[in-house]
């Protein structure tokens, strides 16, 4: 499976974005646990595990091709100081990752890469949608009632 330089560069960017997402999710999960919001921490942990699996799959594909990439550089983390900020920053990160995966899917000619990118895109879009739903609940219920009943 040979990949073009455009795909190689894009996959490297996607690895960087996923690494950033993992760090952000880990911190947000720990914050939620610290605040006593176990249900929200469990949702974030599930997403973290899914992202980790997809990142492992992507890295394995890139290693098979002997493509060199850098896992030391991450994008800027957006750590929420409130539950609403956590939901917003995770949604934004998921949306940007999903968009990048879609762009790469459109230019990739390799079936294995396309399949993985489509899975990543669906995962991120699903999580962004979940964050939107939670933000709508916060808006409708009010922050305090949402935290008391949903987290």
Task: Kindly write down the DSSP assignment for every residue of 43-93, as one continuous string.
Answer: HHHHHHHHHHHHHHHHHHHHHHTT----SS--PPP---SSHHHHHHHHHHH
99: which 2 tokens? 């968009």
28, pLDDT greater than 90: yes
Q: What is the pLDDT of residues 95-151, one digit of tens each?
A: 999 999 999 999 988 888 899 999 999 999 999 999 999 999 999 999 999 999 988
Q: Averaging pLDDT over each range in 3-7, 61-65, 116-120, which range is the top one?
A: 116-120
3, pLDDT greater than 60: no
Contact 62, 19 (CB under 8 A): no
2, pLDDT greater than 90: no
Cα–Cα distance for residue pair 117/15, rounded to 1 Å: 11
pLDDT at 111: 87
Burial profile 96-127: b = 16 or more Cβ within 10 angstroms, e = fewer: bbbebbbebbeebebeebeebbebbbebbbeb
Report the number of secondary-structure helices (H) and strands (E) in the chain: 5, 0
Q: Is the pTM of this model over 0.75?
A: yes
Q: What is the pLDDT of residues 65-96, one digit of tens each?
A: 777 777 788 889 999 999 999 999 999 999 99
* Structural domains of the chain in order of their starting residue, each with its CATH number: 5-150 (1.20.1260.10)
Going by pLDDT thresholds of 50, 70 and 90, the confidence category of residue 1 is very low
């Amino acid at each position: 499976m040979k990949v073009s330089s455009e795909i190689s560069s894009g996959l490297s960017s996607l690895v960087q974005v996923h690494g950033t997402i993992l760090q952000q999710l880990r911190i947000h999960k720990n914050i939620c646990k610290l605040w006593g919001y176990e249900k929200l921490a469990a949702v974030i942990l599930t997403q973290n595990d899914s992202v980790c699996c997809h990142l492992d799959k992507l890295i394995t594909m890139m290693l098979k091709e002997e493509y060199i990439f850098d896992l030391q550089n991450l994008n800027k983390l957006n750590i929420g100081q409130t539950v609403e900020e956590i939901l917003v920053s995770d949604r934004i990160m998921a949306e940007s990752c999903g968009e990048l995966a879609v762009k790469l899917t459109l230019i990739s000619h390799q079936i294995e890469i396309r399949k993985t990118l489509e899975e990543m895109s669906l995962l991120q879009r699903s999580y962004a949608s979940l964050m939107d739903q939670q933000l709508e609940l916060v808006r409708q219920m009010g922050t305090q009632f949402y935290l008391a009943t949903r987290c």
